[in-house]
Amino acid sequence: MNILLKSAKILDEDNKGLHKKVRDIWIKDGLIEKIGASVKPDSRTKIIELPNLHVSRGWMDSSVSFGEPGYEERETLANGVRVAALSGFTDILLNPNTNPVPDSSGDIIFLKKTAAGKGARVHPLGTLTRGAKGIDLAELFDMKNSGAVAFYDFKSPVTNSNLLKIALQYAQGFNGLVLSFPLDMSIAGRGSVNEGNISTKLGLGGVPALAEEIQISRDLFILDYAGGKLHIPTISTAAAVDLVASAKKKGLNVSCSVAMHNLFFTDDVLEEYDTNYKVMPPLRTSKDREALRKGLRSGVIDMVTTDHIPMDIEEKRIEFDRAAFGSLGLESAYGILNSIFGTEIAVQLLTKGRERFNIPTVTIKEGEPACLSLFNPEEDYVNSKENIKSISKNSMYLGKKIKGRAYGAVINDQIFTNPE
Which tens digit of pLDDT belongs to each residue from 116-136?
A: 999 999 999 999 999 999 999
**CATH code of the region 58-357:** 3.20.20.140
Which of these, 66, 70, 107, lies nearest to 84 by C-alpha position? 66
**pLDDT score for 118:** 97
CA nearest neighbour of 303 among 92, 113, 51 = 92
Mean pLDDT for all residues in the chain: 97
Q: Is the pLDDT of residue 390 over 90?
A: yes
In this prediction, residues 358-373 reach a mean pLDDT of: 96
pTM above 0.75, yes or no: yes
| pLDDT of amino acid 418 | 81
Q: Quick one: average pLDDT of 327-334?
A: 98
Res 108: pLDDT: 98
Separation CA 92–CA 85 (nearest Å): 9
Mean pLDDT, residues 225-248 taken together: 98
Percent over 90 (pLDDT), the chain = 97
In degrees and rounded to multiples of 5, residue 405 shows phi and psi of: -130, 135
Work out the average pLDDT over 40-49: 92
Positions annotated as catalytic residues are: 307
* Distance between CA atoms of residues 127 and 139, nearest Å: 9
What mean pLDDT do residues 49-59 have? 97
**Percent of the chain with pLDDT strictly greater than 70:** 100
Express each pLDDT in 249-283 by its tens digit.
999 999 999 999 999 999 999 998 999 999 999 99
Query: Can you identify the CATH homologous superfamily of domain 2-55+365-388+401-417?
Result: Urease, subunit C, domain 1 (2.30.40.10)
The structural domains of the chain, with segments of one domain joined by +, span 2-55+365-388+401-417, 58-357
Rounded CA-CA distance 300/247 in Å is 10
Looking at the predicted structure, is the pLDDT value of residue 219 above 80?
yes
CA–CA separation, 292 vs 285, rounded Å?
Answer: 11
State yes or no: pLDDT of 420 exceeds 70.
no
More confident residue, 418 or 258: 258
Confidence of residue 65 (pLDDT cuts 50, 70, 90): very high
> How distant is the alpha carbon of residue 156 from its chain centre?
17
pLDDT at 43: 86
